[in-house]
Amino acid sequence: MILDYLDRASTYKGLDEPFQKAFAWLRQTDLGTLPKGRYDIEGDRVFAMVNEYETVDPQGQKMESHRVHIDLQYMARGTELVGHDFLRAQQPSKAYDPDTDFMLYDENPSFFSRFEEGMFAIFYPEDLHMPNIHPGEPGWVKKVVVKIKV
């Protein structure tokens, strides 16, 4: 997993071309006015999902992971906490669904990161993550999740 600010994305020049396309799209797109929905960057290989929501309490939330896509999440507006752990021997509590490329885990995160406006996070398939958590009080956020096919 990687957590940094978008204005430092050039630090990650060594990442493959799909990541560079995702970074370029995030920098060149007026995300503040972009409505919720899906946006193709390179067909099913690289696409973005724009979402807005209110952050929630961690109680009852679960960590997630994916098999087919890497998440490049970008916080366009607001702040949330993201719980993390590394996929080792944990077993999914919600089995993998190939249609949604998604599975859930009951274990609590090992640690949390503060995800602020202007930051991005990259979650590989072995990176368990619990997004959408409020940092003390619920708040409204706008997040872009770029899906990059493995």
CATH for 66: 2.60.120.370
Q: What angle do CA 88, 101, 31 make, to 5 degrees?
A: 110
Q: Hey, what amino acid is at 110? A: S
Query: Mind listing the pLDDT tens digit for each residue in 80-139?
Result: 999 999 999 999 999 999 999 999 999 999 999 999 999 999 999 999 999 999 999 999
Q: What angle do CA 105, 109, 114 make, to 5 degrees?
A: 125
Range of 117's domain?
A: 2-149
Query: Mind listing the pLDDT tens digit for each residue in 45-67?
Result: 999 999 999 999 999 999 999 99
How many domains does one find in the chain?
Answer: 1
Rounded Cα distance between 130 and 71, Å, is 12
Other Cβ atoms within 10 Å of 86 Cβ, number: 11
What is the pTM assigned to this prediction? 0.95
